[in-house]
Structure 1
């Protein structure tokens, strides 16, 4: 059975903002408020050890701060080199104003 973990109040993450979370048993995760929809992806770049939470978000694309490669935040798919491997995406839900990781 999937475990539900509270991440934050939905109102604490403005549209276009992102926040890094550490959940027991998981690699670091990155929560993004994508126009009111919450996206949860792995925080570690698949190309090199870098935290995407320190990167740049432009629309639905996040850019790695180390080499500038990018990923689609909705699918996790690598969008530009040097990134080639897809990021894992994770299920989230919002209930009573709280964003949950459904892991």
Structure 2
């Protein structure tokens, strides 16, 4: 992988994250889930807002991911909760591609 960008965390190479797949990286203590939805990249916190369970335990289904613990679903493009038991959105993060490497960061 190329040299890291200041403040950005390398996730993986673009050819390692195919459409319909997701990968996780860490920015400090924050686990960030990066999803490839039809070639577009989205990043959100890897934590269900219902009970803090990792969303990455489930497969990506189109632009949605469902928490395997209690079935809350989220739109990975927006972070919005789509059904109970979650009501709060998942925080979203920026994604950047540089020299074939995907980067993200916790910009809160």
Give 1:3's aligned residue: 7
Question: Equivalent of 1:71, from 71, 74, 87?
Answer: 74
Runs of 4+ in 1 over 6 A off after TM superposition: none
Structure 2 portions without partners, runs of 5+ = 1-5
Question: Equivalent of 1:91, from 82, 87, 94?
Answer: 94
Structure 1 portions without partners, runs of 5+ = none
Q: 1:77 & 1:4 partners in 2: Cα distance?
A: 24
Give the total of aligned pairs: 101
Residue 30 of structure 2: SS of its match in structure 1? coil
Question: Equivalent of 2:63, from 60, 64, 67?
Answer: 60
State the TM-score, normalized to the length of structure 2: 0.86
Q: 1:70 to 1:49 in 2, by over 3 A?
A: same
- Over the aligned positions, Cα root-mean-square deviation in angstroms equals 1.4
Q: 1:8 & 1:57 partners in 2: Cα distance?
A: 17
State the TM-score, normalized to the length of structure 1: 0.90
Give, in angstroms, the shift of residue 23 of structure 1: 1.7
